[in-house]
Amino acid sequence: MFTTGAKLLLGATVASLAGTVAYGVLAEGTMGTIGLVSATVALATLAGIVIFTRDANVFADEPDTFDGAAANAARPGASMWPFALGLAVTTMTLGLVTYPAIFILGAILFVAGIAEWILQAWSERASADASHNAEVRSRLAYTAEMPVAAAIGLGIVIYSFSRVMLGVPSKTSTIVAFSIVATIVLIVGAIVGANRSITAPKITALFAVAGVALIGGGAVSGLNGERHMHEYETTAYFAEKDECGAEKTYADKHASQTVAGKAGSVEVILNPDGRLVHRKPGDEVDRVGAMQLPRSNPNNLLFRNETNEDRRLVIDLAPDYEGSPPRICSMLVEPGGVQWLTVNFAVPSFAPEITEIGGYRFQVPGVDSADLEVVVP
């Protein structure tokens, strides 16, 4: 017996077929004929599906079909995973045009949503008892869901916090902002602890709002980009820019003026009359003239300033040589202070590129008489 829906679809299929034949014979239009053929095939397919499923109708004279009827099947439970999959696809699309981390987050959410949806659909058909199905799902899923969800949630919180901290204008703003947030959290926690009648749904809603605010702030800060970071300027930075002069720079700020006892270090001393002398381990007197240092080994030097002005030690190395900076300089050394300096000579003194710059020489900017030749065999 045909159902009402099957009869209507069969009639529509026959009418569409007749219209297709008439149009093809009379109008001889290719595109129109193709369109009508497509409509006929679609209607015939729907008619076949309705006939096979009997339009979900159960007839009184066929009681054997009651148990297998679609109307007798249990209603699927509510699921949030279709929404999660839509959110995951949106996040992945956003990540393609913004940051890889957002795309990775969307991909993780997509895989998790697919797995959870499949698990829910399977558990709902484990038996006819809904409570038993829920217990089966919890036994199978909770051992994996809880650690993974905690790790993902913690990662999102940490990443969002980092984006907010890097997005605020300055370190002072970061301290002020998070002091305010900490105060709010403390006050809310005190109110929740004092109110014994607060329900679990209210607490869940409160945490949900806080989570949305944190993630939203992290997303906005991440899209706006990090704040401008002042480059930490070292003596190597100023040496590369050929600014190792007698003037004080940012790298000299709060520079240490003492060095702990070092074994095997060579002392380079700027004496009160403005001359550079040196003293190797075991020497009891200062040496004048050229000093010899090994090649391809770190040479640890102690620069002592015995004048009454701030001074720094500078030496030019092999220019444009791989692995060797063109110039090395110490921080400004106060009168009576000492600085640690490590020098590694990549090529010997007789190399052409070294002879072109006049050889290796320790110098002190602002003191013309401070010139100490270095021989590297």
For the record, the structure tokens of 202 come out as 């209210």
pLDDT of res. 330: 83
pLDDT of res. 257: 72
pLDDT of res. 322: 60
- pLDDT tens-digit profile, the chain (377 residues): 677 777 888 888 888 888 888 888 787 767 778 888 888 899 889 888 887 776 666 555 555 555 555 555 566 667 788 888 888 999 999 888 888 888 998 898 899 889 888 888 888 777 767 777 878 878 777 777 788 778 877 887 787 777 777 777 776 777 777 788 788 878 877 877 777 777 777 777 777 777 777 777 777 766 666 666 666 667 776 776 667 777 777 677 777 777 766 666 888 889 888 889 988 877 778 888 888 898 888 888 888 899 999 998 888 887 666 656 778 888 888 898 888 888 888 889 898 888 888 889 898 988 888 888 999 98
List all residues 6 or more positions away from 82 whose beta carbon is below 8 Å from its beta carbon. 117
pLDDT of res. 110: 92
Strand-by-strand arrangement of the 367-375 sheet: 291-292, 367-375, 360-364, 314-316, 327-329
* Torsion angle of C-alpha atoms 92, 94, 97, 100, degrees rounded to 10: -50
Give the tens place of pLDDT for each residue, 332-345: 888 988 888 888 88
For the record, the structure tokens of 345 come out as 């000579």
Contact status, residue 279 vs residue 287, Cβ threshold 8 Å: yes
d(CA 69, CA 186): 57
For the record, the structure tokens of 354 come out as 């070294």
pLDDT of res. 73: 59
Domains delineated in the chain = 4-72 (no CATH), 242-375 (2.60.40.420)
For the record, the structure tokens of 209 come out as 């709002």
Say how many C-beta atoms besides its own lie within 10 A of residue 203's C-beta.
11
Contact status, residue 13 vs residue 47, Cβ threshold 8 Å: yes
pLDDT of res. 63: 56
d(CA 148, CA 1): 53
Give the tens place of pLDDT for each residue, 139-153: 777 777 788 778 877
Contact status, residue 312 vs residue 244, Cβ threshold 8 Å: yes
Give the tens place of pLDDT for each residue, 206-228: 777 777 777 777 777 666 666 66
* Nearest Cα to Cα of residue 3 among 76, 69, 67, 97: 69
d(CA 11, CA 41): 13
pTM of this structure: 0.44
